């Protein structure tokens, strides 16, 4: 019997909501869990939320609530979202849970005991006003803190624990060499190998400048570096089940996005090697999704809400969404989520291929007065079909095992196409006309058997629809246990069929238009009318009577507090200033604003302003692109900026 299978997703940061990117990994993990469970394996899936660290502490501060209250609330969004996508993880871990905190401390202690952790110092610019180290990027020229320009920053050293990562360079290279499947796909493996070969530096694994984290055992002034804490979740979540699911008894597969590959293939194995714990079996890095050809920005991500898509029954509901992501994005490569193509592919695979096969088969049964599976008396035509079908069934199994859901589904729909072609060749309507009932029976028995196989093959990807296919065929919903992978067995003669209904209605041109209107994100639809403000604020007009907007329209405008970090004149443009504004993201944004007739650049640094953060970028030429707009009123030479008080954190949303 195959060993237990343990698949994990990254644990998601709770400063965001579930979006298409996080839904993608979760859906793939769930489909893999389902496939291996179908094969009779004990398959387990883990997901969860990553809740510590400065990022989260700041997001909570921006909302004016305690980090604990913040993470409790947001984590719940993730927990609630996944079942709506038919993802059924066996466990959901939160890094703030005591079960995790206790065990992550034991990992730290093992690493410390090995002698791989030492106390050192982290050096940087300290702003006493803020009580924090500032990175060079956060400072104005002369290392001035924009928030406290009158209090010079000090060069300070923060004590930090370092992990002796450098000592693991060779051990990691040996690991990759001896286990070629440890990192996949191969291109990613090569990337990691050259990174490690280029030399590793010891890693700072604790912080003292904030407290939202797991205290370091024996030195609670320090909290663990959030990645040390987070990576351990895969192991801590198992608790007493470690023996069963972790190596060497279980096969452990971590699915991650390509952006977090290094953490999983360099730091994580190094921590485990140091702690004397077994390593996972494989880390598989998938690519990034774009939406209608565009990089996923926050506003786009919100517009393409996976839960909303899963509620769109016209596209197959949650099964339809899963089908799109699994079938049309080659796992491991980048992929685009193009709304028009989604509809086309829904029609092609689900409507005209699988759905059509089901409706025409059950339709033919009804037409021929059959409410039970008929007897099967194969000819060469059927034998040929059986051979080809067996190859697709095997091909699908191989692809699932090789972590290639897109190929598994390609094989699956190829089987469905084959069956559709077979109906056309076997022409049961012609046989019926000739009164050849035995032949009609055989043809329908074959089609019903192919559909039975398809109801199993599709189950990992579209579990709800697969069970509905089964119900129409008169079969019970999938029950896990023994290996369920299908063989064409033709052993159902005499069994009753279920009730037919259209499972995947195809979408016509009109339906397509209505769906596109409903689903396509429209970030440009929220641009302020030219009579009010623009990236270059113009003259105000006495507010014309405005048309009313709905609350949803209003809330689609992402208004945020921004902290102006730097401001400089734009050469040869009298009115324009180029600002770098912190809106609570990793890096400040560049905003070009028509403020220069009123403000000298130095008046703006340190100001808290109001930013429209989801306005489509505006190109000013010569490489100058504005990523947002400030709110202001007044004529160009006497502008009054809309500002926020000092207590409002950069990135805080206005509601
Ligand atoms: N908390 C860390 C992971 C810790 S795991 C021990 C983290 N969280 S995240 O919420 O920022 O990202 C989670 C996952 O979402 C990553 O694997 C990332 O690659 C993935 N995605 C984010 N945007 C994505 C796309 N546009 N497309 C596909 N996946 C993307 O990183």
Question: Bridge partners of 255?
Answer: 284
Q: Is 10 in the pocket of ligand 1 (CB under 6 A)?
A: yes
Q: Is 101 exposed, middle or buried (0-12, 13-18, 19+ CB in 10 A)?
A: middle
pLDDT for the residue 15 = 81
Substitution candidate for ligand 1 out of 257, 283, 303, 305 with most atoms within 8 A of CB: 257
**Structural domains counted in the chain:** 3
Count of positions (residues) in the chain: 655
Top-ranked range on mean pLDDT: pick from 296-305, 445-454, 601-610: 445-454
- CA 119 to the chain's CA centroid: 36
pLDDT over 70 (residue 548):
no
Predicted confidence (pLDDT) at residue 153 exceeds the cutoff of 80: yes
Is pLDDT above 70 for 351? yes
Residue 498, φ and ψ in degrees, nearest 5: -90, -160
For ligand 1, atom 22, the nearest C-alpha belongs to: 21
Query: What is the longest distance spanned by two Cα atoms in the chain?
Result: 98
Mean pLDDT calculated for residue range 314-328: 96
d(CA 230, CA 175): 22
Q: What is the DSSP string of 233-277?
A: HHHHTTGGGHHHHSTTTSEEEEEEEGGGHHIIIIIHHHHHHHHT-
Do 281 and 145 have their domain in common?
yes
Mean pLDDT for the stretch of residues 112-131: 87
Mean pLDDT for 61-71 is 92
Is 253 part of any domain?
yes
Q: Which of 503 and 603 is assigned the larger pLDDT? A: 503
DSSP state of 496: B
- Pocket probe for ligand 1: among 7, 8, 11, 12, the residue whose CB has the most ligand atoms within 8 Å is 12
Residues 386 and 272 reside in one and the same domain: no
Going across the sheet that includes 154-163, the strands are: 132-134, 117-127, 154-163, 203-204
H-helix segments, 64-182: 67-84, 98-113, 169-178
Domain boundary among 413, 441, 472: 472
The verdict on the CB of residue 428 being under 6 Å from ligand 1 is no
Nearest to 364 by CA among 255, 263, 447, 287: 447
Handedness of CA 614, 550, 522, 341 (dihedral sign): positive
The verdict on 262 and 343 lying in the same domain is no
Q: List phi, psi (to 5°) of 380.
A: -60, -35
Other beta carbons within 10 angstroms of residue 426's beta carbon come to 21
pTM above 0.85, yes or no: no
Give the span between the Cα atoms of 454 and 620, in whole angstroms: 54
Q: Does any ligand 1 atom lie closer than 6 A to the CB of residue 231?
A: yes
CA–CA separation, 599 vs 568, rounded Å? 11
Domain membership of residue 124 (yes or no) is yes
Does 282 share its domain with 388?
Answer: no
- Assign residue 46 the CATH number of its domain: 3.40.50.620
The pLDDT of residue 199 is: 95
Residues 278, 343: one domain?
Answer: no
CATH code: domain of residue 389:
1.10.730.10
Give, in order, the Cα–Cα distances in Å from 17 to each of 24, 73, 81, 427.
13, 11, 9, 52
- CA 120 from chain centre, in angstroms, equals 36
Atom of ligand 1 nearest to the CA of 258: 19
Share of the chain above pLDDT 70, in %: 93
Tell me what pLDDT residue 527 has: 31
Residue 415: per-residue pLDDT: 98
Centre of ligand 1 from the C-alpha of residue 60, in Å: 20
pLDDT at res. 585: 86
Same domain, 174 and 272: yes
Considering only CA atoms, which of 171, 139, 166, 168 is closest in space to residue 155? 139
Q: Which residue has the tokens 């010569």?
A: 622
Residue located nearest, by CA, to atom 16 of ligand 1: 257
Name, of 90-94, 222-226, 605-609, the range with top average pLDDT: 90-94
Say if residue 468's pLDDT is above 90: yes
* Residue 485 covered by a domain: no
Centre of ligand 1 from the C-alpha of residue 241, in Å: 26
| CA-angle at 542, arms to 539 and 543, nearest 5° | 105
Q: What is the pLDDT of residue 210?
A: 83
Q: Which residue has the least CA distance to atom 18 on ligand 1? A: 257
At 256 the pLDDT is: 98
Q: Is the CB of 651 under 6 A from ligand 1?
A: no
Angle between helices 405-426 and 20-38 (to 10 degrees): 70
Task: Please give the pLDDT value at position 574.
Answer: 83
Is any ligand 1 atom within 6 A of the Cβ of residue 117?
Answer: no
Give the model's pLDDT for residue 132: 67
> In this structure, is residue 516 part of a structural domain?
no
> Which burial class, exposed, middle or buried, applies to 543 when counting CB atoms under 10 A from its CB (0-12, 13-18, 19+)?
exposed
The whole-number pLDDT of residue 80 equals: 96
Residue 233 Cα: closest atom of ligand 1:
6
Domain assignment present for residue 128? The answer is: yes
Name every residue whose Cβ is closer than 8 Å to that of residue 548 and which is 6 or more positions away in sequence. Answer: none
Question: Which pLDDT belongs to residue 21?
Answer: 93
Whether residue 222 is contained in a domain is answered as yes
Distance 313 CA to ligand 1 centre (A): 27
Rounded CA-CA distance 172/168 in Å is 6
Establish whether residue 259 lines the binding site of ligand 1, counting it when its CB lies within 6 angstroms of any ligand atom. Answer: yes
Are residues 37 and 75 in contact, defined by beta-carbon separation less than 8 angstroms?
A: no
What pLDDT score was predicted for residue 463?
98
Q: The domain containing residue 446 runs over which residues?
A: 337-472
CATH code assigned at 607: 2.40.50.140
- pLDDT, residue 302, reads 65
Distance of CA 592 to the CA centre of its chain: 32
Please work out whether the CB of residue 269 comes within 6 Å of at least one atom of ligand 1: no
Whether residue 538 has pLDDT greater than 50:
no
C-alpha–C-alpha distance, residues 326 and 335, integer Å: 11
Q: Is the pLDDT of residue 530 over 50?
A: no
Written as six digits, the tokens of 175 are 């690991």
Tell me: do 360 and 255 sit in the same domain. no
Taking the centre of ligand 1 as the mean of its atom positions, its distance from the CA of residue 425, in whole angstroms, is 48
For the segment 577-604, the average pLDDT, to the nearest whole number, is: 88
Band (522; pLDDT cuts 50, 70, 90): low
Assess whether the C-beta atom of 25 lies below 6 angstroms from ligand 1: yes
Mutate to test the pocket of ligand 1, among 10, 29, 224, 225 (most ligand atoms within 8 A of CB): 10
Query: What proportion of the chain, given as a percentage, has pLDDT over 90?
Result: 70
Does one domain contain both 369 and 446?
yes
Average pLDDT, the chain: 90
- Which H or E run includes 229? helix 226-231
Shared domain check, 360 and 276: no
Higher per-residue confidence, 586 vs 387 = 387
The candidate with the shortest Cα–Cα distance to 278, out of 251, 298, 310, is: 251
Taking CA atoms only, the protein residue closest to ligand 1 atom 21 is: 21
Q: Is any ligand 1 atom within 6 A of the Cβ of residue 236?
A: no
In a domain? residue 622? yes
Ligand 1 atom, smallest distance to 231 CA: 6
Do 342 and 237 lie in one domain? The reply is no
Statement to judge: residues 277 and 410 lie in one domain: no
420-429, 486-495, 611-620: the lowest-pLDDT one: 611-620
Q: Is the CB of 14 under 6 A from ligand 1?
A: no
> Distance (Å, rounded) from C-alpha 315 to C-alpha 350?
9
648 vs 634, higher pLDDT:
648
Token pair of 475 as six digits: 């079969």
- Rounded to an integer, the average pLDDT of 244-264 is 97
Of 463 and 146, more confident: 463
Q: Which long-range contacts (CB under 8 A, 24 or more apart) does 217-223 make?
A: 217/105, 217/108, 217/109, 217/112, 219/161, 222/159, 222/160, 222/161, 223/52
Query: Quick one: tokens of 369?
Result: 């007065």
| Shortest-distance atom of ligand 1 to CA 289 | 27
Q: Pick the last residue of a domain from 271, 286, 301.
A: 286
Verify whether ligand 1 is closer than 6 Å to residue 260 (CB atom). yes
Q: Which of 131-135, 213-217, 512-516 has the lowest mean pLDDT?
A: 131-135
Q: Best mutation site among 260, 267, 329 for ligand 1, i.e. most ligand atoms within 8 A of its Cβ?
A: 260
Q: Which of 14, 75, 255, 259 to mutate to test the pocket of ligand 1 (most atoms within 8 A of CB)?
A: 259
Query: 629 near 536, Cβ under 8 Å?
Result: no
Q: What pLDDT, in 10s, does the model give residues 186-204?
A: 999 999 999 999 999 999 8
Please tell me which residue, 375 or 540, carries the higher pLDDT value: 375
| The pLDDT value given to residue 617 | 75
DSSP state of 485: -
3-class SS at 37? helix
Has residue 433 been placed in a domain? yes
Give yes or no for residue 399 having a pLDDT over 80: yes
Q: Provide the pLDDT confidence category of residue 626 given band limits of 50, 70 and 90.
A: confident
Burial label, 79 (beta-carbon count in 10 A; 0-12, 13-18, 19+)? middle
**pLDDT tens figures, 10-44:** 999 998 889 999 999 999 999 999 999 999 999 99
Strands 629-630 and 608-612 turn out to be antiparallel
Q: How far is the CA of 625 from the centre of ligand 1 (A)?
A: 27
Same-domain check for residues 357 and 276:
no
Domain stops at, among 472, 497, 527: 472
């Amino acid at each position: 019997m195959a060993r237990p299978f343990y698949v994990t997703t990254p644990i998601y940061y709770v400063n965001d909501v579930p979006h298409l990117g996080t839904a993608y990994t979760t859906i793939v993990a769930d489909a893999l869990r389902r496939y291996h469970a179908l094969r009779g394996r004990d398959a387990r899936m883990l997901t969860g939320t990553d809740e510590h660290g400065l990022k989260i502490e700041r997001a909570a501060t921006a909302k004016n609530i305690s980090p604990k209250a913040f993470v409790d609330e947001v984590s719940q969004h993730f927990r609630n979202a996944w079942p709506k996508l038919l993802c059924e993880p066996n466990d959901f871990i939160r890094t703030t849970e005591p079960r995790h905190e206790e065990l992550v401390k034991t990992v730290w202690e093992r690493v410390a005991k090995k002698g791989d952790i030492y106390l050192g110092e982290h050096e940087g610019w300290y702003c006493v006003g803020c009580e924090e180290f500032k990175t060079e990027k956060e400072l104005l020229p002369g290392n001035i803190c924009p928030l406290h320009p009158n209090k010079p920053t000090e060069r300070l050293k923060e004590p930090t624990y370092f992990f002796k990562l450098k000592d693991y360079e060779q051990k990691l290279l040996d690991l990759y060499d001896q286990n070629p499947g440890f990192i996949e796909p191969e291109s990613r493996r090569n990337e990691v190998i050259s990174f490690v070969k280029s030399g590793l530096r010891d890693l700072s694994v604790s912080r003292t400048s904030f407290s939202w984290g797991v205290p370091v055992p024996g030195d609670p002034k320090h909290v663990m570096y959030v990645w040390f804490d987070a990576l351990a979740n895969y192991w801590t979540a198992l608790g007493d089940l470690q023996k069963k699911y972790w190596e060497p008894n279980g096969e452990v597969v971590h699915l991650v996005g390509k952006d977090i590959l290094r953490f999983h293939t360099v730091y994580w194995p190094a921590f485990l090697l140091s702690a004397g714990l077994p390593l996972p079996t494989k880390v598989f890095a998938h690519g990034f999704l774009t939406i209608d050809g565009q990089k996923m920005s926050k506003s786009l991500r919100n517009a393409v809400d996976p839960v909303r898509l899963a509620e769109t029954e016209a596209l197959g509901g949650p099964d339809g969404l899963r089908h799109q992501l699994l079938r049309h994005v080659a796992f491991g490569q980048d992929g685009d989520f193009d709304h028009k193509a989604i509809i086309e592919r829904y029609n092609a695979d689900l409507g005209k291929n699988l759905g059509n096969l089901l409706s025409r088969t059950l339709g033919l049964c009804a037409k021929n007065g059959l409410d039970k599976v008929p007897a099967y008396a194969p000819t060469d035509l059927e034998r040929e079909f059986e051979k080809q079908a067996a190859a697709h069934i095997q091909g699908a199994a191989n692809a699932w095992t090789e972590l290639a859901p897109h190929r598994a589904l390609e094989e699956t729909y190829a089987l469905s196409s084959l069956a559709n072609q077979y109906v056309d060749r076997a022409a049961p309507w012609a046989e019926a006309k000739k009164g050849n009932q035995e032949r009609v029976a055989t043809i329908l028995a074959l089609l019903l058997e192919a559909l039975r196989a398809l109801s199993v093959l599709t189950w990992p990807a579209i579990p709800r629809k697969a069970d509905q296919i089964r119900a129409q065929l008169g079969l019970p919903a999938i029950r896990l246990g023994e290996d369920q992978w299908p063989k064409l067995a033709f052993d159902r003669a005499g069994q009753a069929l279920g009730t037919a209904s259209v499972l995947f209605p195809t979408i016509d041109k009109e339906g397509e238009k209505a769906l596109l209107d409903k689903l396509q994100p429209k970030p440009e639809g929220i641009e302020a009318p030219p009579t009010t403000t623009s990236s270059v604020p113009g003259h105000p007009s006495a507010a014309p009577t405005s048309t009313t907007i709905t609350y949803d329209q209003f809330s689609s405008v992402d208004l945020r507090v921004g902290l102006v970090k730097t401001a400089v004149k734009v050469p040869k443009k009298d009115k324009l200033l180029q600002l770098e504004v912190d809106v609570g993201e990793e890096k400040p944004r560049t905003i070009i604003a028509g403020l220069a007739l009123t403000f000298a650049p130095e008046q703006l640094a340190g100001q808290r302003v109001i930013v429209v953060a989801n306005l489509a970028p505006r190109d000013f030429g010569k490489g100058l692109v504005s990523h947002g707009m400030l709110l202001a009123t007044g004529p160009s030479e006497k502008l009054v900026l809309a500002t926020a008080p000092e207590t409002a954190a950069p990135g805080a949303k206005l509601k």
